[in-house]
Structure formats: structure tokens, C-alpha cells
Amino acid sequence: MTTQTKVLIAGGAVLALIIAAGVGAAVAVASLRPSAVAPVAPAVSDAPEPTASETPSEPGDGESAPDADVIAFVADSTRDLDDFEKDLDDMVKTVDEGGFFRLLSNSVELRFNLSQLDRHTPPDSVEPDWSYGLVDLEGSIDDIDQAVSDDDEAAIRAAIEASRAQVNTLRTIVAEVA
């Protein structure tokens, strides 16, 4: 087998891996989306409303406890941003080692992490910033992909650092609600 044939076979295998991972990520995200089933009306209680003196006190000096959705958003987003940053670190190592085909699979991992971040529902107070941040992050992944396609090591490194800066911006948004 010639070297060119080996490269084509390896490229085909990597492409198949990328497609399979993309389809798997899309299926995973689709399964997490709420269904189109009509919401169930909340149960009506016959119990009387508690009076102010019967209402449980909130922690702190007049501050209310954080909403469970906010706590989940912060925890889940922080975890997924950590994963994203780990994958960026892996890409830097891959560039250092000259592993072109590994960069392709790293890029698939970044897109999967983006889909994970996209499924989180941010509090209304940061929703626009979160959404714009995710769009910017997707753009930085596109820049990484283009640099990998161009086989331009300097551009790959610059795009990775731009993605890292975008991750830090998203961390700041998460910290605003924490």
C-alpha cells in the first residue's frame, strides 16, 4: 500500500469518527430537549396559604435562598466549561506533538462541549449575554477548524487562545449569578 493510500484510509477513518461523534452528540442533545407534550397543570391544594408568621424564614438577612435552577445552571455550566478548557489544553498538547488527525477529534469534542453548554437554561438576568457568548464560542471553534484545515500551527494556537478567552467570558457570566 502506498503512503498516499494509507493517508486516504486514515483520513476516511477520522472523517467517519467525526461524523459518528457529531451524530451521537446531536442525538444526545435532542434527547435532552423538552418534548412537545402540553404541560400538566399544577395540582391545586385545598390547604390554606401560610401567614407571614408561618412562612419559613429564608437564610441570611432578608436574602432569599438561591433558586435550584440557578444552582444547577452554575454547577453544570462550570463543569462543562472545565471540560471545554481541558479539551483546549489537549489541543495545545496535540499541536506540540504534531498530531493533525488528533486535532480533528479534539474539534469534535469541543463541539460536543458546546452542545452541552447550549442545553443549560441561564437565569433571565444573564440569558442574552450567555447566548451571545455561546455564539462567539461557536465562532472560535469555527476558527480552530479553519486553522486545522489550513494546517497553520500559529493560527491554531491563536484560535485556541481566542476560545480560551471566550470560555473565561462565559465563566464571568456564570459568576454573576453564583
DSSP string, 66-108: PPHHHHHHHHHHHHHHHHHHHHHHHHHHHHHHT-HHHHHHHHH
% pLDDT > 70, the chain: 63
Specify the pLDDT at position 30. Answer: 45
Tell me how far apart the alpha carbons of residues 28 and 125 are, in angstroms, rounded to a whole number: 28
Give residue-wise pLDDT tens across range 81-106: 999 999 999 999 988 888 777 888 88
Assess contact for 128 and 84: CB atoms under 8 A. Answer: no
- Segment 98-124 mean pLDDT: 88
Query: Over 50: is that where the pLDDT of 29 sits?
Result: no
Per-domain residue ranges for the chain?
A: 67-177
The torsion of the CA quartet 143, 144, 146, 151, rounded to 10 degrees, works out to 140
The better pLDDT of the pair 158, 3 is held by 158
What class is the 67-177 domain?
Answer: mainly alpha
Closest CA to 114 of 154, 144, 70: 144
Measured CA to CA in angstroms, residue 62 lies from 57, 58, 59, 65 at distances of 9, 7, 7, 10
Query: Over 70: is that where the pLDDT of 64 sits?
Result: no
Specify the pLDDT at position 9. Answer: 53
Tell me how far apart the alpha carbons of residues 58 and 51 are, in angstroms, rounded to a whole number: 15
Specify the pLDDT at position 159. Answer: 94
Specify the pLDDT at position 56. Answer: 47
Tell me how far apart the alpha carbons of residues 132 and 152 are, in angstroms, rounded to a whole number: 28
Specify the pLDDT at position 17. Answer: 53
The sign of the torsion formed by the CA atoms of 121, 122, 128, 134 equals negative
The torsion of the CA quartet 52, 53, 56, 61, rounded to 10 degrees, works out to 80
Q: What is the pTM of this model?
A: 0.63
Tell me how far apart the alpha carbons of residues 173 and 178 are, in angstroms, rounded to a whole number: 9
Specify the pLDDT at position 97. Answer: 87
